Every structure is written in C-alpha cells, then in structure tokens.
C-alpha cells in the first residue's frame, strides 16, 4: 500500500464499505452469539468501562469519607468504619479483577491484535466468547457478593482475617476464581494466535510492539493465574471446611497465604502494565512519525519482564515474617526487574528525539504516561530498598506508588489507546480539543490526588485507615479535591467519546498515518477484517519516504 | 487445516501448563506442611488403603493405554475401534471413581478428616503442646488428601464427559485420518490427568 | 516530609530516603525535560523527514548498564541499613507484645503489664517479641522508622534504641478490621528516673481495678504463680501449700505448735519471709516474693484471700481500694512485715470494671 508522510488525515483511495462488523448482522442475539473478535472486544469494552465506573464511584466515596477526620458531609457522618472497610475493599477488587486485568488485552487487544497480525480472527474464536461470558459470570457473582454482605478484607484477602470475618468472602473469591479462568483462556488464545496466525512475511521481529506486549502478558496470564485460582480455592475451603492450611489455630500458617497470593499477584501487576506499555510503543512512533528506537530491546524487555515478574513476589512481604534470607534475595531481584522498564522509557524518549511530533489526544496521554510512570517506577525504588521499605510499607506511600503505575500507567495508556483506535473501532472521530482538555484535567487531578499521598505515607499515615490524626487533614482534603478533578476529566472524556457515536461515519482508514496493518483496512473494519489477505511488505514503524508508485 | 491442528495443539498444551500450575500450588502446600508435621504425615498415611490406591493406579494406566489406542484408531479412520477404546477408557475412569467412592466412605466412617473433624486413631503419637490434644498435622494430611484427590477426581469426571462427547461425535462419523483433532486433544488432557495421579499416588500412599 | 527522628537508626533511614528522593527528582526532571522538550523542539512541521534511527547499540548498553550499577549500589546501601534493623543486640531489654483486635498488650520482663502504653528508658535498646491472639496486626513506630507484622501462631520481633525523650506514636499497620484505625498506643521514652518510677507503679493496668482489689488480686494469684501451689477450692495441691479457701481470720497451727491469726500481717509476712512461719503439715518450700510484688499487687492478693471466705470472728478488714504507698524514705524498703495499708472507712467494693 502506498504510504505518505503527511498523514494527518489520510482518507485513502478506498470507498467506505457498505457493511462493517457493526452493521453486518443485527440484533442482540447476533451479538450474544458472536465469535467475531471485534464484537467481543467491544462487549468487553462496555463491560470493563462499566466496572471502571463502579470502582471509580467507590473511590470517590473513599476519598469523600476521608475529607475530614469526622467523616461528615453536610453535618452527617457519611459512612461508618465497617462500611468504609467494605468500600475500599470493593474499590480494589473491582478495579483489579473486573477492570484493569482484562482491560487492555480483552477490550483493545481482542479488537486490534488480529488486525495487526493480518489475521481474520484469534486462534480460538469460540473460546474467546467463552472468556467473555466467564467475565460476565464473575461480574455477576461480584455484584451478588456486594448485595449479600459485601467483603471487608482488603482486595488482598489476607488470612486469618479473611477466613474468620463475616461477609460474602467465599462468594467474592469464587467470583475472582471465575474471572481468573476468563483471563487464562484469553491468554491461551493470544499465545496461540501470535504463534500461528501471523500474516505471510511477518516474522517475530516484524510484529508490532503492541503484539509483543500482549504476547508477554498472555504468557503471564497462562502461568500465574492458576496459582491465584488454587489460592482462592484454598481460602474458600478454609472458610467453609476449616481445612487448616492458613489458620494457626488449626496448625496452619497465615504467611503461607501471602506467599501463594503474591506469587500470582506480583506477575498480575505485570499483566496490568505490559499491555499499557505496549500501547505506548504504538502511540509514540506514530505521533512522532519516526521509527521505534530499539525495537528489539523493547521486544526483549517485554518478555524478560514477564519472566522476571515471577521471582520477586516476596517484596510485598519484607515485614510479613518471611525469612531474612528470602527478604534480602527478593530485594536484590526486585532491582533487577526495574531495569527493563527503565530501558523502555529511554527507548520511547529516543523515538521522540528528532521526531515530527503532533500532540493529538493519544499522544498527550502517551506523554502523560511517560511522566506518571516515571514517578511510579522511581518510587518503586524506595519500596524495593530494604531500609526505606520497612518505614514506608503499609502506608499511603505504597498506595500512591501503585496508583501511579496502575492508573498513571495502565489506565492513562488505556485511555490513550482508546482514543487512538476509537476511529478504527467506531468509524468516528471524537472532538480533538475536548479530548486534549480532558487529558490535561485528568493529569492535573491525578497528581493532586496521589502525589500528596507520598508525603502522607512518608510521615507515617498507614493505609486502610478510616480514622486519622488531625495532622493529616490538610493532605487528605487536598487529595480528595484532586479526586473530584479526576472525576471531572474522566467524565468529560467519556462524554466526548460517546458524543462522537451520534455522528455519521467520518473516520478515514488511517487518520494518524500509522504503519501497522490495522490501518490498512476500513474504519470500522468489515467483518472478516481484510478484503484480501494482507502480505507484509515492510517492517512496522518504517516512516521512510517511499518512492512514488508508478 | 494443518495450521488449525497445530494451533489447537498449542492451545491445549498451554491449558495443560495451567493445570500443572494449579496442582503445583497444592503440591507445594503439601510439601510445606509435610516439613512442618513430618511424624504426623508418616503416621497418617498408614491409614490410607494402599491396595485400593494401587488398583486405581493400574486402572488409570490401563486407561491411558486405551486412550492411546483410541487416538491411533482415529488416525487410521477405524471408527469401530475408536468407539470401543473410548468406551474402555470411560469404563476405567468410572472404575477409578467407584474405587474413590469406597475410599472416601472409609475415611468418613473413620473420621479421617480435616482438623476440625479429625478423630485420633490408634497409632497417632504426636500431641499439640498448647492444647494437649492430638496434633493438627493428622487432620492437615487428610485435608490435603481430600483437596488433591478431590480436585483430581473432578478432572476425571470432566474427562468422562469429554470422552462421552467424543463417543457421540465418533458415532456420527466425524473423525477420520483427515480430522481427529478433538480425539488427540482429549488424549493429551487424559494423559495429564493420569500423570497427576502418578505423582499423587506415591506422595500420599507410599512415601515415608 | 518525614516524622521526627526518634533514634539514631531513624537518621540513617532518612539519609537513604533523602538520597533516593533527590535521585528521583533528578531522574524525573531529566525524563520530563526530555519528553516535553522533544515535544516542543520537534513539533510537527509538514514535509519534515525524520531520521530512520532503529537503534544505537552503544547508547543502549550505556543506558542499561548505568541504571543497573545504580540499582546494585542502592540495593547494598539499603541492605546495610536493614541489617541493623534486622538483628537486635544481645543486651536489649525484651518486652512482649500480644496484639489483639484492637488493643496492644505489653508485658515487661518482670511481669508488669500495660495496655496501649509502653515506657522505655532512653538510649537503651529494647526488643519487642510479638504475637497476635487473632488476626495479623503490625507494630509501627513512625518516629523510629521500624515496623513488623504481628502474626498469630508465632512470634516476630522488632527492636530499636530510642534516643529522643517524650511520647512517640505507635500505630497498627496491617488491616485488622473495624477498629484498625483506632489501634494506637503511646511509646513514652523516659529518663532513667522517670522509667524507674514507672516500673515501681507497675504500669497502668492496676488503675482499672482500683475499686475492685479482690479481682486484681485474683489476676495476681494467676499470674504470679500462687496458683501453682495454693488452691482456692479447699483441695490440697501435692507438693504445694495450704488452700486459701476460708483461711482469712482463722487461727492456724504452725509446725512448732504455735497458733497464728491469718490476717494482713501474717499474709504479708508469708509473701516476703515465707520461711518465718510454716503451717503444720507443710514443707518450708515457698519462695520469697520480695521485689516481685508491688504494693498494690499485695493489697489485691490480700483482698482476694479475704474474699475466699473468712471467719467472721477474725481479723481486720481487707483493703477495699488499691492505692500507691507514700514515697519510700531513704533506708526504708517498700514491703515490711507488719506494714498495713488499711484505708479508713471506705465503702465495700462495688461491681467491677
């Protein structure tokens, strides 16, 4: 295909197809029984964004409760301590299991990856639909658990508190168990897809970096999630049948639960960040109109992060009672795992250097990611360092750190990717100005909310606290106001995207001048993605000018 | 078609990897508990019925053999043989579950159960210093016994369902040397389930 | 940015923290300047061709190796600080903590117990040996920069040497339920004189029993070892001493034939000089409790013994309220036989805490 440089609005020569994947089949039933990866991606998108909304509402409630030490709003106590404990638990559990883990792979990955590979669909389309229904089942179970007593254990479910407290702990952990299988099946699907369904001519090192990121994520999904499954099953069995593996009164070891739990949950955070990084690796070359600097290094770093992520879980347990030797070893390994992330950061900056950079909404989100993930990653060093971790762990410092990497990292990248692929998925262009303003508002609000929390934690403010000493009031209040600013920015962004759906199709095939295969088909794509099987003729991110075709 | 077959195989191997990790967690837990309660675990495992366990091992090994024969029959488009071997595999699986039923009944009768319901047996020598009662190690052994053989038994049950589905499809003539992927994949699954038992059996019944 | 430093170790941790802080500031500024700077300097111009830079091996090696070396350095520096935290010195005073939802129970080596409050002498290392009665808690003292989880079913440890006098905050740092954010304690770092005074009065627990000395006495009966040898139901413990049931006000026969009234003086003498009088039929094996029982603990025991049944004909009333003794004069020891603590005209004890 021809490829020009000034591709700010490249309409392409092809007329818009009469029917696309959205319109070819109509009716609810066609959606509910679809095996089209694009439709499944869209359904996932609706699902995870709904979960994000619910989790976000809980977050706003948490922050609102902490606005003053008395927890009062307009003279009335907002919620009591027990309810607060449930609210922060649900915020965490919903965000982690219902939103972030599936978000990029299942919503964006499902849609974009087969297109990027030049494939018609994923390797196992029916398994893909099954994954989605498992997600729905897990979501329903989670909602039921909220109705039937809710959970107040924290999203980490530490024993023996979680085996002895009342509430719908068993139901919630079983919901997560089901969600785990959704994640596992997606992982299996994606690994097989990448191995087997690449377009002719596309070797491993011709794949877009987004695919590398999703692939590395899928490996973790396959290997780590079963351990979460068995851990939660053991927790449920302990609650119901008093098995005695975690309960000291029955001869068990509470710290064992933590080992099992973090053996999954540390790799899980890489399930969260790798796809986010994968998106950034698409956005930066495209909007810099320059080839990705250090493609191989970035590809290798994705896979090495996936593998290294399995050997650092003990850094969540430096003061938990694990052996001193284990503590030292985990700290050392944690520093090792910091390196590939740093490498990516430099490669992205190297890509921007001497680029031709425009600042559309996706690129603003990408730059936000660079700044916010930098802070998140650097504060991780404080936590990997043994002497400082002892003081900072279990305080707001940790809360701030993980929000910077998960929200400032993954969520920001996700929203950037959503804007980037929005024209492809929906055939419409969103309003650019509002998109950019929304990004800036979210960026400001995010820092207001969470930068503050580093200082709170350093001063000694523990996490998961309903009551707090008066000395923290100003910081808490500032953080709460920040949460409102985030809410405003996200609301604007959501409204902007949704408003675009009322327009007729106006998106060209390749609005951004991207070089990867998804931009070679129409926006929105036809049901089987490409008219003819695409054959890869050159590597991705190649912005060298073509000689004009004759 | 070849690409599809290869792809499916990758998918199944990946799934098997997840199963290994699922059971792996339990094996690790068992190992840790054994290190904590060595004497109790030795004494507790005497209460398991070795003859029945051995019988089950033999039955599963036979079923793996019949499964291999079934896959071969499918590869050679031998419909009748395929169905016979699938049925034999199912039969072995049912015998396995039947024997399990007897084993479990025995455990329930003798109160060889997780710590909350465990009754001390003659030959249990270790006591819990803080309560004076029998050590929790015995009950913990049986907790793991039930969890691991139970999870394994669940996988056998799922296998029976999958094998039955294969019988139905084979009867309809859906498999031949051009297409026998489902038989192959269920075969892989079955071998994994058998292999897990090969680890479970000595771990619980034999090791001192 | 950080809490006040309560120990020399805190100062070391802060140095590490500030080093990391400035390093992070520098690195972040570098990244931010690069990202925003490039976005500005290389902003979009139509027609501009970008260079096709796929990689630069030397540069990539440099920016991998330098962070790696930095990380190694930081790791060892952190390890060095942590090792000091991880190993308590041999001469550290051991204090036991039993945490439960949602209170802190401290116990000193001599058996003194306090709740939600702990006193330690300044400049002396103290080691906390901790366990929980229910769920996982965490002992966090921000001023000392130390914390460690408290796990049920086992013991964990944390130690520090406080160098700054005054009250420091202790807070639970592992989520433990409804009262998690209310689980606070006060760590009072005292001068030696203040600390000695505190140990004399024995903590705060006794104040809860001020109006119920018999209940306080029962606790001492259980904690100080009296129950090992003296029953309270009339039975004789083999190898032990006389049961306390019904002895108050009795005329007891000693092994030399003399009869002695069981009153406050006699009981006090038995605690301090147990060999002075031996009840007939028993062996002279009771150890002395000199220095092991504070005055309010003795008062409590006496009240408790009386409460186990008394001969209406006998002896003076037992104490009805616990109090501290007047300050000891130089040369005077605290517990002398014959020293009475009777309080005039007090109403009998009502109810209990």
Q: Indicate the pairing of strand C113-115 with strand C259-261.
A: unpaired
Chain A contact for C152 (CB, 8 A cutoff): yes
CB-based contact B44:B141 (threshold 8 Å) = yes
Share of chain B above pLDDT 70, in %: 98
Which residue in chain C is spatially nearest to A373 when comparing CA positions? C28
What is the extent of the structural domain holding B105? 2-206
**Which of C42, C48, C180 minimises the CB distance to A465?**
C180
Are residues B136 and A189, on separate chains, in Cβ contact within 8 Å?
no
Let me know: does A403 contact A55? Beta carbons within 8 Å.
no
In a domain, C108, yes or no: yes
C168 strand-pairing partners: C187
Strands A72-73 and C137-141: unpaired
Note down the domain range covering C226.
206-307
- pLDDT at residue A511, rounded to an integer: 95
Same-domain check for residues C179 and C275: no
Whether residue C174 is found in the same domain as residue C241: no
Interface membership of A378 toward C (CB under 8 Å): yes
Q: At A195, which CATH number? A: 1.20.210.10
CA distance B25 to chain A (A): 6
The radius of gyration of chain C's CA atoms, rounded to the nearest angstrom, is: 31
Q: Convert the pLDDT of each residue in B143-168 to its tens digit.
A: 999 999 999 999 999 999 999 999 99
Per the rule left: phi > 0, alpha: psi between -120 and 50, beta: everything else, C145 is left
Q: Are residues C251 and C214 in the same domain?
A: yes
Query: Which chain A residues are closer than 8 Å to C86 by Cβ?
Result: 324
CA distance B137 to chain A (A): 7
CA distance C112 to C106: 8
With contacts defined as CB-CB under 8 Å, which chain C residues touch A374?
27-28, 31-32
Interface of B with A (CB under 8 A): 3, 6-8, 10-11, 14-15, 17-19, 21-26, 29, 32-33, 36-37, 114-116, 128, 135-137, 139-140, 143-144, 147
**Of the partner residues B11, B17, B144, the one whose CB lies closest to the CB of residue A192:** B11
Q: For residue C247, is it within any domain?
A: yes
* Residues on chain A touching B5 (C-beta within 8 angstroms): none
Lowest mean pLDDT among A132-141, B1-10, B67-76: B1-10
Q: Which residues pair with C187 in a beta bridge?
A: C118, C168
User: What residues have CB less than 8 Å from B76, skipping those under 6 apart?
Assistant: B177
Say whether pLDDT at A537 is over 70: yes
Whether A361 maps to a domain, the answer reads yes
Residue A187 forms contact with B (CB below 8 Å): yes
Q: Does residue B142 surpass a pLDDT of 60? A: yes
What is the residue whose two structure tokens read 């029955």?
Answer: A250
Q: How far is A441 from chain B (nearest CA, A)?
A: 42
Mutation target for C interface from A66, A281, A358, A385: give the one with most C CBs within 10 A: A385
Q: Which residues pair with C139 in a beta bridge?
A: C148, C172
Give residue C350's pLDDT.
Answer: 36
CB neighbours (10 Å) of residue A280? 30
Which letter does DSSP use for residue A159 in this model? Answer: T
CA neighbours within 13 Å on the CB side: how many for A486? 23
Has residue A477 got a pLDDT over 60? yes
Q: What is the mean pLDDT of residues A219-244?
A: 92
| Residues with Cβ within 8 Å of residue C233, at least 6 apart in sequence | C243, C245
C-alpha C217/C-alpha C155 separation (Å) is 29
**Contact indicator for A389, A382 with CB cutoff of 8 Å:** yes
Q: What angle do CA A441, A446, A448 make, to 5 degrees?
A: 100
Quick check: helix, strand or coil at residue A496?
helix
Whole-number percent of chain B with pLDDT over 90: 71
B14:A241 CB<8 A:
no
User: Do C280 and C239 share a domain, yes or no?
Assistant: yes
Sign of the C-alpha dihedral, residues B200, B206, B31, C153? positive
Nearest to B14 among A188, A197, A252 (CB): A188
CA distance B127 to B136: 8
Contact A359 C39 (CB under 8 A): yes
Query: How many domains does chain A fold into?
Result: 1
Q: Which residue of chain B has the CA closest to A257?
A: B29
Window from A466-475, B110-119, B129-138 with minimum mean pLDDT: B129-138
- At residue A12, the pLDDT reads 56
Q: Decide if C14 contacts C6 (C-beta within 8 A).
A: no
- Residue contact A394–C38, C-beta within 8 A: no
Q: Angle A432-459/A412-426 helices, nearest 10 degrees?
A: 160
Among the listed residues C33, C161, C18, the one whose alpha carbon sits nearest the alpha carbon of residue C89: C161
A84 touching B (Cβ < 8 Å):
no
Whether C101 and chain A come into contact, CB under 8 Å, resolves to no
Q: Residue A199, class by beta-carbon neighbours within 10 Å (0-12 exposed, 13-18 middle, 19+ buried)?
A: middle
Q: What are the strands of the beta sheet with C126-132, ordered from one edge?
A: C113-115, C103-107, C93-100, C126-132, C156-160
Q: Residue B64: pLDDT above 70?
A: yes
Give the integer Cα–Cα distance in Å for B162 and B186: 7
**CA distance readout (Å), C133 to A160, A500, C136, C176:** 11, 58, 9, 12
My answer on whether C104 and C196 are in the same domain is: yes
How many Cβ atoms are within 10 Å of C353's Cβ, its own excluded? 10
Is B116 in Cβ contact with A244 (below 8 Å)?
yes
Q: Which two tokens stand for residue A352?
A: 């921007």
| Chain A residues touching C185 at Cβ < 8 A | none
DSSP H or E segment with residue A419: helix A412-426
Question: Is there a contact between B145 and B151 (Cβ–Cβ < 8 Å)?
Answer: no
Q: How many residues does chain C have?
A: 353
B98 half-sphere exposure, CB direction, 13 A CA radius = 8
Q: How far apart are CA C86 and CA C79, in angstroms?
A: 10
Q: How buried is residue A462: exposed, middle or buried, by Cβ count under 10 Å (0-12/13-18/19+)?
A: buried
The half-sphere exposure of C328 on its side-chain side, counting CA atoms within 13 A, is 13
Contacts of B10 in chain A (CB under 8 A): 123, 191-192, 195-196
Whether C135 contacts chain A with CB within 8 A: yes
Chain B residues inside the 8 Å CB shell of A191:
10, 14
Q: Write down the residue that tokens 């997606």 correspond to.
A: A186
CB contact under 8 A, A371 and C59: no
- Please report the pLDDT score of residue C110 as a whole number: 83
Tell me A462's DSSP state: B
Bridge partners for B127 per DSSP: B134
**A19 φ/ψ angles, rounded to the nearest 5 degrees:** -125, 145
Q: Are C118 and C185 in contact (CB under 8 A)?
A: yes
Give domain status of residue A217, yes or no: yes
Residues of A (23-82) whose Cβ lies below 8 Å from C: 81-82
Under DSSP, is residue B48 helix (H, G, I), strand (E, B) or coil?
A: coil
Give the residue among A238, A260, A258, A259 at the shortest CA–CA distance from A249. A238
Contact A216, B104 (CB under 8 A): no
| Average pLDDT of chain B to the nearest whole number | 91
Distance between CA atoms of A449 and A459, rounded to whole angstroms?
16
Mutate to test the interface with A, among B8, B19, B22 (most CBs of A within 10 A): B22
pLDDT for position A547: 66
Which residue of chain A is at minimal alpha-carbon distance from C132? A248
Least Cα separation, residue B84 to chain A (angstroms): 30
Short-list C160, C100, C103, C93, CA closest to C135: C100
Look at residue A11 and tell me if it is in a domain: no
* Chain A contact present for C133, CB below 8 A: no
pLDDT tens for each residue of A485-505: 999 999 999 999 999 999 999
Domain-terminating residue out of C203, C229, C260 = C203
CATH of the domain at B200: 1.20.120.80
Structure tokens at A338: 């910091």
CA–CA distance, A272 with A279 (Å, rounded to integer): 12
Rounded Cα distance between B15 and B112, Å, is: 34
CATH at residue C165: 2.60.40.420
Q: Which residues of chain C have a pLDDT value below 70?
A: 310-320, 324-353
Question: What are the tens digits of pLDDT across the range A87-98?
Answer: 999 999 999 999
Contacts of A165 in chain C (CB under 8 A): 177
Search chain A and give the residue with CA nearest B129.
Answer: A251
Return the structure tokens found at B168. 């139905």
Size of interface A-B (CB pairs under 8 A): 106
Domains identified in chain B, total number:
1
Residues of A in contact with B32 (CB under 8 A): 253, 256
pTM of the model: 0.86
* Distance in Å, alpha carbon of B116 to nearest chain A alpha carbon: 6
Task: Tell me which residue in C43, C49, C181 faces A468 most closely, judged by beta carbons.
Answer: C181
Interface contact flag, B24 A187, Cβ < 8 Å: no
**Token pair for A386:** 């043994």
What's the gap in Å between the CA of A222 and the closest CA on chain B? 6
Q: Which domain covers residue A331, as residue numbers?
A: 37-520
Rounded Cα distance between A186 and A250, Å, is 38
- Rounded distance, CA A187 to CA A542, Å? 29
Q: What value does the mean pLDDT of chain C take?
A: 86
The answer to whether position C55 is within a domain reads no
Q: Contact partners of A by the rule of 3+ C-beta pairs under 8 A?
A: B, C
What angle, 0 to 180 degrees and rounded to 10, lies between the N-to-C axes of helices A295-308 and A209-241?
Answer: 10
* Mean pLDDT score, B171-200: 93
């Amino acid at each position: 295909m021809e490829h020009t440089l000034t591709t700010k609005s490249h309409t392409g020569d092809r007329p818009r197809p009469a029917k696309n994947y959205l319109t070819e089949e109509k009716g609810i039933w066609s959606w509910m029984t679809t095996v089209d990866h694009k439709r499944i991606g869209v359904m996932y998108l609706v699902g995870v964004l709904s979960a994000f909304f619910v989790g976000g509402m809980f977050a706003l409630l948490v922050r609102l409760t902490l606005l003053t030490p008395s927890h009062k709003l307009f003279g009335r106590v907002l919620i009591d301590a027990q309810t607060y404990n449930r609210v922060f638990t649900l915020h965490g559990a919903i965000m982690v299991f219902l939103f972030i883990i599936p978000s990029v792979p299942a919503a964006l990955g499902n849609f974009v990856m087969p297109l990027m590979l030049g494939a018609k669909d994923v390797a196992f389309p029916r398994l893909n639909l099954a994954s989605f229904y498992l997600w729905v089942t897990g979501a329903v179970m989670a909602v039921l658990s909220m109705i039937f007593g809710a959970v107040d254990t924290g999203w980490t479910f530490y024993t023996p508190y979680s085996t002895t407290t009342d509430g719908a702990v068993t139901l919630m952990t079983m919901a997560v168990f089901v969600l785990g299988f959704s994640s596992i099946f997606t992982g299996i699907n994606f690994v097989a897809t990448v191995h087997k369904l690449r377009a002719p001519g596309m070797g491993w090192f011709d794949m877009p970096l987004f695919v590398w990121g999703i692939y590395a994520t899928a490996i973790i999904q396959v290997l780590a999630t079963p351990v979460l499954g068995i851990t939660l099953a053991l927790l449920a069995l302990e609650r119901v049948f008093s098995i005695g593996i975690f309960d000291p009164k029955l001869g068990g070891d509470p710290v064992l639960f933590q080992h099992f739990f973090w053996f999954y949950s540390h790799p899980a955070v890489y399930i969260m960040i790798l796809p986010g990084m994968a998106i950034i690796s698409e956005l930066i070359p495209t909007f810099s109109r320059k080839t990705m600097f250090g493609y191989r290094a970035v590809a290798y770093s994705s896979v090495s992060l996936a593998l290294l992520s399995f050997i650092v879980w003990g850094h969540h347990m430096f003061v938990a009672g694990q052996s001193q030797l284990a503590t030292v070893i985990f700290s050392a390994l944690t520093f090792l795992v910091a390196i590939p992330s740093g490498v990516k950061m430099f490669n992205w900056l190297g890509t921007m250097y001497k680029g031709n950079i425009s600042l559309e909404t996706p690129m603003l989100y990408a730059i936000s990611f660079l700044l916010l993930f930098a802070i998140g990653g650097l504060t991780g060093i404080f936590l990997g360092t043994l002497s400082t971790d002892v003081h900072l762990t279990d305080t707001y410092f940790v809360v701030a750190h993980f929000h910077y990497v998960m929200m400032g990292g993954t969520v920001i990248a996700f929203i950037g990717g959503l804007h980037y692929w929005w024209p492809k998925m929906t055939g419409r262009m969103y309003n650019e100005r509002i998109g950019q303003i929304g990004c800036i508002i979210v960026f400001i609000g995010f820092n207001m909310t969470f930068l503050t929390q580093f200082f709170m934690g350093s001063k000694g403010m523990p996490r998961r606290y309903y009551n707090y000493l008066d000395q923290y009031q100003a910081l808490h209040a500032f953080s709460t106001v920040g949460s409102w600013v985030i809410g405003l920015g996200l609301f604007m962004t959501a409204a902007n995207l949704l408003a675009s759906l009322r327009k007729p199709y106006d998106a060209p095939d390749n609005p951004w001048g991207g070089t990867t295969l998804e931009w070679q088909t129409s926006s929105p794509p036809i049901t089987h993605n490409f008219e003819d099987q695409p054959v890869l003729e050159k590597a991705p991110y190649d912005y060298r000018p073509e000689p004009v075709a004759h | 078609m070849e690409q599809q077959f290869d792809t499916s195989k990758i998918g199944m191997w990946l799934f098997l990897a997840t199963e290994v990790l699922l059971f792996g967690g339990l094996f690790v837990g068992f190992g840790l508990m054994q290190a904590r309660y060595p004497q109790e675990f030795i004494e507790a495992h005497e209460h398991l019925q070795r003859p029945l366990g051995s019988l089950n091992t033999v039955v599963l090994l036979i079923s793996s053999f019949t499964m291999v024969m079934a896959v071969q029959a499918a590869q050679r488009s031998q419909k009748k043989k395929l169905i016979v071997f699938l049925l034999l595999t199912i039969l072995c699986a049912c015998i396995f579950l039947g024997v399990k039923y007897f084993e479990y009944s025995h455990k329930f009768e003798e109160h060889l159960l997780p710590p909350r319901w465990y009754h001390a047996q003659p030959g249990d020598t270790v006591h819990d210093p803080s309560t004076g009662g029998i050590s929790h190690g015995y009950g913990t052994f049986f907790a793991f016994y039930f969890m691991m053989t139970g999870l394994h038994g669940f996988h056998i049950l799922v296998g029976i369902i999958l094998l039955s589905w294969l019988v139905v499809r084979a009867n309809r003539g859906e498999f031949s040397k051009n297409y026998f992927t489902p038989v192959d994949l269920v075969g892989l699954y079955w071998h994994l389930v058998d292999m897990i038992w090969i680890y479970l059996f000595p771990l619980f019944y034999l090791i001192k | 940015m950080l809490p006040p430093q309560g120990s020399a170790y805190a100062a070391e941790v802060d140095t590490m923290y500030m080093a990391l802080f400035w390093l992070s500031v520098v690195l972040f500024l570098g990244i931010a300047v690069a990202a925003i700077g490039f976005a500005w300097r290389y902003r979009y111009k139509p027609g501009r061709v970008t260079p096709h830079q796929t990689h630069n091996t030397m540069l990539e090696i440099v920016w991998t190796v330098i962070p790696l070396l930095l990380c190694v350095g930081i790791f060892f520096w952190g390890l060095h600080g942590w090792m000091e935290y991880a190993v308590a010195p041999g001469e550290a005073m051991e204090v036991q903590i039993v945490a439960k939802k949602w209170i802190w129970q401290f116990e000193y080596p001599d058996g003194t117990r306090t709740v939600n409050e702990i006193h330690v002498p300044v400049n002396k290392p103290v080691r906390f040996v901790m366990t929980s009665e229910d769920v996982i808690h965490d002992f966090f003292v921000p001023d000392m920069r130390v914390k460690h989880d408290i796990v049920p079913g086992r013991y964990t440890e944390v130690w520090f040497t406080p160098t700054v006098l005054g009250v420091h905050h202790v807070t639970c740092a592992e989520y433990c339920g409804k009262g998690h954010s209310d689980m606070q304690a006060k760590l009072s770092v005292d001068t030696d004189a203040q600390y000695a005074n505190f140990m004399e009065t024995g903590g705060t627990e006794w104040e809860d029993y001020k109006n119920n000395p018999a209940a306080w006495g029962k606790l001492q009966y259980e904690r100080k070892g009296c129950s090992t040898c003296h029953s309270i139901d009339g039975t004789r413990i083999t190898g032990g001493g006389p049961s306390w049931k019904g002895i108050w006000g009795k005329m007891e026969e000693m092994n030399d034939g003399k009869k002695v009234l069981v009153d406050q003086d006699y009981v006090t003498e038995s605690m301090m000089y147990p060999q002075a009088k031996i009840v007939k039929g028993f062996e002279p094996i009771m150890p002395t409790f000199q220095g092991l029982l504070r005055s309010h603990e003795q008062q409590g025991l006496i009240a408790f013994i009386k409460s186990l049944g008394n001969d209406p004909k006998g002896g003076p009333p037992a104490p009805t309220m616990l109090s501290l003794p007047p300050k000891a004069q130089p040369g005077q020891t605290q517990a002398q036989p014959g020293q009475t603590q009777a309080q005039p005209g007090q109403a009998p004890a009502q109810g209990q805490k």
